[in-house]
Amino acid sequence: MKKDLIVFAAHLDDVELAFWGFISTHYDDYDKIKIIIATDYVPKRKVWTENLERMKDYISATTTPHRFDVIEYTNLGYEARKGMTDFDNIKDDFYKLIDFNKRFDILTHDDKDCHTDHFALNKIAMGMYKYANRFVTVYSPSSTHFDANYWIPLDDSQWNLKKEMCVKYDIKKEQSYSKLGYYLESEEHWNIGKSYQMESFVHTDDKYYEVYRIIKWL
Ligand SMILES: [Zn+2]
């Protein structure tokens, strides 16, 4: 029996933007990848549902024998941007979904993330730190400081799928106060790891990178 990966993300679209590199690189290490998204947002639901199927298709197409049932998805149904207000309820729901009889890794947001929903989820997930084999946080362009220590290269098929999934979201439906900083439209944001990687790892040179921070790795 393998372990599970628990992906704990705040919003519909977070997984495609910042978690996909880890998922699409490591899926075969896991029995189940349990994607738990804390908030719902009706204008994004259709795109997310389609993207989820694309990710499942990617995994089934690249496993032998084909694995069709790796990803499970749960939405906790809270309102976006109210993660701090709903903190204890999200925490309670999340902890009740944990199977403590199983070994698991956690992939979630980083605590230096400026989005309060992202920050709240990191703090909630940290409660499971002692039970997790591995605890990894994702880089988001909205992080102030990020002590990245894990660069994951994306090959063309991983990158192309990421790009196709991200462009389907409509920036005009974003819940932004300023309407500035269009992370959903920018390849520079999606390929956030590349410039760091070029400078620090001179002997490897892939075109696309996502960056993560390993907090714990057993
Ligand atoms: Zn988000």
- 158-188: pLDDT as tens digits: 999 999 999 999 877 666 666 665 666 788 8
Report how far residue 168's alpha carbon sits from residue 152's, in angstroms, rounded to the nearest whole number. Answer: 23
Environment of ion ligand 1 (residues, CB < 5 A)? 10-11, 14
Say which CATH number the domain at 86 has: 3.40.50
Q: State how beta strands 30-40 and 3-9 pair.
A: parallel
Q: What does the pLDDT read at residue 199?
A: 72
Lowest-confidence range among 130-139, 151-160, 168-177? 168-177
Chain center to CA of 89: 21
- Does residue 21 belong to any structural domain of this protein? yes
Number of domains in the chain: 1
- CA 189 to CA 211: how far, in whole Å? 11
Per-residue pLDDT, 197: 74
Mean pLDDT of 100-127: 96
- Whether residue 109 is predicted with pLDDT greater than 70 in this model: the reply is yes
Predicted local confidence at residue 183, as pLDDT? 67
Instruction: Average the pLDDT over each of 2-11, 21-30, 49-58, 184-193 and give the range with the smallest value.
Output: 184-193
Say how many Å lie between the CA of residue 203 and the centre of ligand 1: 33
- Its domain, for residue 110, covers 3-151+212-217
Which pair of structure tokens corresponds to residue 99? 């199977």
pLDDT of res. 51: 98
Q: Considering the domain boundaries, does residue 173 fall inside one?
A: no
Distance 12 CA to ligand 1 centre (A): 7
- Cα pseudo-dihedral 197, 7, 119, 182, rounded to 10: 60
Residue 157 included in any domain: no
The residue assigned the tokens 């230096």 is: 112
Q: Place 85 in a pLDDT band, splitting at 50, 70 and 90.
A: very high
* Residue-averaged pLDDT of the chain: 92
Q: What is the pLDDT of residues 34-67, one digit of tens each?
A: 999 999 999 999 999 999 999 999 999 999 999 9
**60 C-alpha to ligand 1 centroid (Å):** 26
Residue 61 confidence (pLDDT): 97
Q: Which two tokens stand for residue 201?
A: 């790892």
78 neighbors 11 (Cβ within 8 angstroms): no
C-alpha atoms less than 13 angstroms from C-alpha of 87 in its C-beta half-sphere: 12
Establish if 201 belongs to a structural domain: no
Q: Does residue 110 sit within a domain? A: yes
pLDDT at 140: 77
Alpha-carbon span 218 to 196, nearest angstrom = 25
Of 14-28, 74-88, 107-121, 188-202, minimum mean pLDDT range: 188-202
- Within a domain: residue 204? no
Whether residue 47 is contained in a domain is answered as yes
Query: What is the distance in A from the centroid of ligand 1 to the CA of 64?
Result: 33
Rounded average pLDDT over 97-106? 98
pTM above the 0.85 mark? Answer: yes
Cα(202) to ligand 1 centroid in Å equals 31
117 C-alpha to center of ligand 1: Å?
Answer: 7
Q: Is residue 82 part of a domain?
A: yes
Closest CA to 95 of 66, 146, 132, 68: 132
Are residues 35 and 7 in contact, defined by beta-carbon separation less than 8 angstroms?
Answer: yes
